[in-house]
Every structure is written in structure tokens, then in C-alpha cells.
């Protein structure tokens, strides 16, 4: 199973989810905004 991290309204995440579903790949989607994660650059 694949774990996909992101936000629901991200176009790249939407494409990834469509690809996973089209290829019958099991995945779970984790919404990072609700996890309190921040980016460190």
C-alpha cells in the first residue's frame, strides 16, 4: 500500500490519486495540513 501525503486541492495530488486509482493501486491519503507539518527550507 502507498501512503500519499498532501492537501486535497493540490492539482499534483489530484493527478497522483487519479493515476493510483486508474492503476488499481491501494493507497491511503494523509492530509498534511491537519498534521501541523511545516516546510523547512
Count of domains for the chain: 1
First-last CA distance in the chain: 29
2-18 residue pLDDT tens? 999 998 899 999 999 99
Query: Which of the following is catalytic: 10, 30, 31, 33?
Result: 10
* Res 1 pLDDT > 70: yes
Is 11 contained in some domain? Answer: yes
Is 40 contained in some domain? Answer: no
Is 10 contained in some domain? Answer: yes
Question: Domain range for residue 31?
Answer: 2-35
Which residues have CB under 8 Å from 33's CB, separation 6+?
7
Let me know if 14 is a catalytic residue. no
pLDDT average, residue stretch 32-40: 70
Q: Which residues pair with 4 in a beta bridge?
A: 29
Is 41 contained in some domain? Answer: no
Q: pTM for the full model?
A: 0.74
Is 23 contained in some domain? Answer: yes
Amino acid at each position: 500500500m502507498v501512503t500519499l501525503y498532501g492537501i486535497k486541492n493540490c492539482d499534483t495530488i489530484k493527478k497522483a490519486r487519479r493515476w493510483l486509482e486508474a492503476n488499481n493501486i491501494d493507497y491511503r491519503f494523509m492530509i498534511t495540513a491537519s498534521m501541523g507539518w511545516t516546510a523547512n527550507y
